[in-house]
Amino acid sequence: MGSVLVFGASGQLGQCLAHVARERSMTDLVFLPEAQANILDPAGLQGLFAQYQPSYVINCAAYTAVDKAEDEVDLARNVNRDGAGNLSRLCAQHNSILIHISTDFVFAGTGNQPLVETDETAPISVYGLTKLEGEQAVAEFTSRYFVLRTSWLYSEYAGNFVKTMLKLGRERDELRVIWDQLGTPTYAIDLAGCILSIIASGNQQFGTYHYSNEGVTSWYDFATAIFELSRTTVKTIPIRTAEYPTKATRPAYSVMDKTKAKTQLGVAIPHWQESLRVCISRLMATEA
């Protein structure tokens, strides 16, 4: 197998890929510094592909500031759509397989049944729209791709909901957390493991897949579990979405069905509570 180029290497998922690659002694991954690996620079990308001749490309680079995207539409679209398209074109030219990360935000979230890959997409935010456009750009330029839609990503690395709750839980007596948005937290270490398993297996059942942890919860119950596992004493108050207005609208229900990933990719997916327990224990060990 040739090299594996990782774009967005300094972000949360990029750092988790490095962590899991070390655990699995996978030495073919090339974690490119952001200055060298600008997905909006086609000429620079062409040089990287020529230099490394990658068998796989993992695109973790994205514009993920959901609320800011409502004002920075062009920037979000440049990164999430055009950057994905640039990588897809080059993957087709160099016969590389692209693994592209997308999101549950491509759905409206107005239903009440777990979402399958073929359900109608109808994003309700600029972020969701530009990520959907990125998926479409990937499929337009190459047929050798895996699009992995994920949700509520957290880990020991970078900024995320779990680390924010732990910080606020230490600083405040009470926290108000939304209870009427339902989804599934995803431990980014688990997602990284899924990505590297796809590569290690040589699986070529290309297409779009859903990957989150198992189960369903609300942000309120997720926060409560974080505080219980970390033994953080803070009062949590459930509130409705309407009581916490944000510039971008979030899906109310974005639980994803993972049957396709489990059957076609052969991955085992832990329950979100099990993975949260692992993450919290690692975070507490680093603080000890």
CB-based contact 37:78 (threshold 8 Å):
no
Q: What are the φ and ψ backbone dihedral angles of 245, each rounded to 5 degrees? A: -65, 140
The strand ranges marked E within the chain are 4-7, 29-31, 56-59, 97-103, 145-150, 153-154, 174-178, 182-183, 186-187, 207-210, 217-218, 235-239
Identify the residue whose tokens are 């990308």: 45
Q: In angstroms, rounded to a whole number, what is the distance separating the alpha carbons of residues 226 and 213? A: 16
- Choose the catalytic residue: 127, 154, 220, 253: 127
Compute the distance between CA of residue 144 and CA of residue 98 in angstroms, rounded to an integer: 7
Tokens of 133: 């456009």
Known active-site residue 157: no
**Are 212 and 185 contacting, i.e. CB atoms less than 8 angstroms apart?**
yes
Structure tokens given for 214:
């198992």
3-state SS class at 256: strand
The one-letter code for the residue type at 276 is L
Tokens of 56: 């796989």
What CA–CA distance (Å, rounded) separates 95 from 118?
A: 26
Structure tokens at 105: 């935000």
CA distance 32 to 236: 41
Place of tokens 């949360």: 12
Enumerate the active-site residues: 127
